[in-house]
Amino acid sequence: MRIQSVCLLLVLVSAAALSRDVEKKESIKERYDKFINQHINENMSDKRCDAEIRKRKISFDNKMCKPKNTFIRASNVTVKSVCMGEGEPYNGQTRSTEHFDIVVCELKKNKGKYPNCHYNGKTLNRRIIIKCEIFPVHYEGDIDYFEN
């Protein structure tokens, strides 16, 4: 009887751990999907910041305008490759070894209420810094040079 109880307990603990792993993978997938929505647009133009941010519903809690948002002009696959060996460690994040065309959209006023957000856009060519959890889940920033 004691062995059966121990076995049952082990099965329950294993099932709970497996359930947590599945939930974690789903949350990474959700974070990756959010990253794609907020930061990937192969055809982005610096003239389309207002429309694209509104269309993608990018804001803080659907109440405030996001002060700055960067779009990477590349495919999901190309950006994901930074996390899959085409990048290098950088302050707990991953930086690309190659340059990417990006569009940086900055809020014209210090604050605003969503969806009435107005942005200035500029196109740059930079290395990107992202947080990887198997897939990209956070855009940290960009740099146009490497420190020694």
User: What is the rounded distance in angstroms from the CA atom of residue 74 to the CA atom of residue 52?
Assistant: 16
Q: What percentage of the chain reaches a pLDDT higher than 90?
A: 69
Is beta strand 68-72 parallel, antiparallel or unpaired with respect to 135-143?
Answer: unpaired
- Residue-level pLDDT at 145: 60
The domain made up of 2-143 is a member of CATH 3.30.470.10: no
User: Could you give phi then psi for residue 38, rounded to 5 degrees?
Assistant: -85, -25
pLDDT confidence bin for 30, thresholds 50/70/90: very high
Residues across the chain: 148
- The whole-number average pLDDT for the span 136-140 is 97
The pLDDT tens digits for 60-70 are 888 899 999 99
pLDDT number for residue 10: 39
For residue 100, pLDDT beyond 60: yes
pLDDT at 3: 55
Question: How high is the pLDDT of residue 114?
Answer: 85
Rounded average pLDDT over 81-100: 96
Domain range annotation of the chain: 2-143
The pLDDT value recorded for residue 2 is: 55
If you average pLDDT over every residue of the chain, what do you get?
84
Mean pLDDT of the 37-48 span: 98
Torsion angle (degrees, nearest 10) of CA 37, 38, 39, 42:
50
Beta strands in the chain (DSSP E): 68-72, 87-90, 93-96, 100-107, 119-133, 135-143
Q: Is the pTM of this model over 0.85?
A: no
| Top-confidence residue, 48 or 22 | 48
